[in-house]
Amino acid sequence: MNYSKKIIVFIKLMTFSLCIFCCACDSDTLEMTTKENYEVAHLPDGSVVYLNHNSTIRHAKEFNPRVIELKGEAFFIVQPDGSEFLVTTEFGDIEVLGTEFNVKTTVNQVEVDVKNGLVALKTAYNNSEIKKGAKAVYKEGEKTVRQLKSNEEFKKWTQSLKREFKKLGKDIKPVLKNVGKEFKKVGKEIGDEFKK
């Protein structure tokens, strides 16, 4: 294999590996969108977001302040760091300091289901605190937030996500192992060419 072909193979491998782990972004913001797939986003502060199907999150690259815009459904595991963490939706904002909760937006409402901790749902009409084991539902145009006992509906899709990622992990391991081997091989060959 000549030198130029080695570089092309190396660039293709780099592009393949970046495609596996990247998300869409512009100069100041990062965005992740799902269609009929799940995604996991690791935020700069160490928080984790699990995205359900047909959902989008968007936040500033610097993630300071900790504000994330959500359309669709996502489960959040927020790392406490003493600063506010805010999830914005078109129907209201959810404010937390450190907790685990699910947010689901539909055409005319937002649902917040708290697994651990305490969050505040702020709408145009009021602020409501939601505790562990509770679910709050706000419908567009209503002046109140209904609070219910959590039915942990989010567990259905988060379990599916975990199974899918576990399967994907098993399926993708050999590919990534081979990519790693090829990186080393091509990198060594390119290094040897530069020495000559």
Enumerate the domain spans of the chain.
3-195
Name the nearest CA neighbour of 121 among 143, 81, 91.
91
Name the nearest CA neighbour of 149 among 125, 172, 132, 168.
132
User: Rounded to two decimals, what is the model's pTM?
Assistant: 0.72
CATH for the stretch 3-195: 2.60.120.1440
- Res 56: pLDDT: 97
Side-chain-facing half-sphere of 126: CA atoms under 13 Å: 13
- Res 81: pLDDT: 86
CA separation for the pair 16, 12 (Å, rounded): 6
Q: What is the mean pLDDT of each run of 10 residues along the chain (196 residues)?
A: 44 36 61 94 94 96 95 95 93 90 95 95 92 95 93 91 78 57 59 58
CA 173 to chain centre: 21
Q: How many CB atoms lie within 10 A of CB 170?
A: 9
